[in-house]
């Protein structure tokens, strides 16, 4: 029904808005990126486990697949750590504009994983993305560390998305999320010990504001967002979902300007570079969507 479709489109945009809001929470939370992601994954895993029990979802899978999902869990943990670290050393606008380069990395990784040819227009848009990054780097050299961390985060995000695309053909998103978050938590626990966090009292005695923001991040922005995104895909094509999620940096940067106007005011050149990246990502998504529709009609 038309009303149901509209409801799901609005729900999808709400999910993208939530995705953009994670960057705001990353700026508000005072603890550093590694323990931040540790708490995020713990909270999300607990809530997903409760959902599994209530919905009576079976999550028993072969050990070889557990290993594969565990490796993907480490990738998403590193993606989130580098993303929040990018915000930490620069700002939200830098982190989100670099995050947009993930579509460029996906266009390189996807053909390798799915063994398909690289499409011509993907190379053109890839070059435009690189141009956008060069423009931003030249105008915001003081944020070079944030730019580099943001690019690494985008690459890991693209790698994770492509791998999950393969896993979704075999398992439910809930099962995937459970094993990925579990392995991510174990990996970060080791990481925290190695980097000298030593599980000190400062890690466990958090300010009340941090506890509130972490609960929002782990519940609404992670557990709910993961499950709801899968629900929406039952009513809206995955390509439309993917295309809409490309608006995440737009929502995030607008929110950042509203919440932190002093820190987020960038030079005009930055916005030119960011606009080139976002334009490339959106047009690339539209062309892919049209190509898939043509394939469906002809099959």
Q: What is the pLDDT of residues 50-88, one digit of tens each?
A: 999 999 999 999 999 999 999 999 999 999 999 999 999
In the DSSP assignment, the letter for residue 219 is: I
The pLDDT assigned to 163 comes to 85
Q: Which residue has the higher pLDDT, 140 or 255?
A: 255
- Tell me the C-alpha distance between 249 and 20, whole Å: 6
Q: 236: how many CB neighbours lie within 10 A of its CB?
A: 15
- Reply yes or no on whether the pLDDT at 239 is more than 60: no
- Whether residue 24 is predicted with pLDDT greater than 90 in this model: the reply is yes
State residue 260 phi and psi, 5-degree precision: -130, 65
Report d(CA 30, CA 190) in Å as an integer: 21
- What's the CA gap between 137 and 133, in Å, rounded? 6
Q: In the predicted model, is pLDDT for residue 299 greater than 60?
A: no
> In this predicted structure, which of 1-5, 50-54, 109-113 has the lowest mean pLDDT?
1-5
Residue 220 DSSP one-character state: I
Q: Give the pLDDT band (50/70/90) at residue 238.
A: low
Report which DSSP code applies to 223: I
Measured from the Cβ of residue 218, the count of other Cβ atoms closer than 10 Å reads: 22
Pick from 134, 125, 20: nearest CA to 83: 20
Q: Residue 140 has which token pair?
A: 């915001």
Per-residue model confidence (pLDDT) at position 237: 64
pLDDT band at 201 (very low <50, low <70, confident <90, very high): low
pLDDT at 71: 95
Residue 217 per-residue DSSP state:
H
- What is the value of pTM for the model shown? 0.87
Give CA torsion, residues 169, 171, 173, 178, to 10 deg. -150
Of 40-49, 75-84, 118-127, 138-147, give the lowest mean pLDDT range: 118-127
Q: Which range, 75-84, 157-166, 189-198, 278-287, is most confident?
A: 75-84
């Amino acid at each position: 029904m038309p009303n149901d479709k509209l409801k799901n489109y609005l729900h999808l945009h709400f999910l993208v808005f939530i995705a953009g809001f994670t960057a705001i929470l990353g700026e508000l939370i005072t603890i550093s990126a590694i323990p931040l992601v540790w708490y995020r994954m713990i909270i999300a895993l607990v809530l997903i486990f409760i959902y599994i029990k209530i919905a009576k979802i079976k999550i028993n899978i072969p050990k070889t697949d557990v290993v594969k999902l565990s490796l993907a869990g480490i990738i998403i943990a590193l993606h989130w750590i580098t993303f929040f670290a990018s915000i930490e050393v620069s700002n939200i606008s830098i982190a989100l504009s670099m995050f947009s380069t993930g579509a460029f990395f996906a266009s390189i990784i996807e053909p390798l994983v799915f063994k398909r040819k690289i499409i011509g227009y993907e190379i053109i848009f890839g070059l435009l993305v690189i141009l956008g990054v060069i423009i931003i780097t030249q105008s915001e050299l003081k944020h070079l560390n944030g730019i580099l961390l943001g690019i690494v985060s985008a690459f890991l995000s693209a790698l994770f998305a492509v791998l999950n695309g393969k896993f979704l053909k075999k398992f439910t998103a809930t099962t995937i999320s459970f094993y990925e978050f579990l392995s991510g938590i174990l990996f970060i626990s080791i990481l925290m010990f190695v980097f000298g966090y030593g599980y000190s009292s400062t890690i466990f005695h958090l300010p009340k504001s941090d506890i509130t923001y972490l609960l929002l991040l782990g519940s609404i922005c992670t557990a709910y967002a993961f499950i709801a995104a899968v629900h929406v895909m039952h009513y809206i094509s995955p390509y439309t979902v993917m295309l809409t999620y490309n608006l995440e940096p737009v929502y995030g940067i607008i929110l950042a300007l509203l919440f932190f106007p002093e820190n987020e005011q960038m030079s005009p050149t930055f916005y030119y570079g960011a606009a080139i990246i976002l334009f490339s990502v959106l047009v690339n998504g539209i062309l892919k969507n049209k190509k898939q529709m043509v394939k469906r009609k002809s099959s």
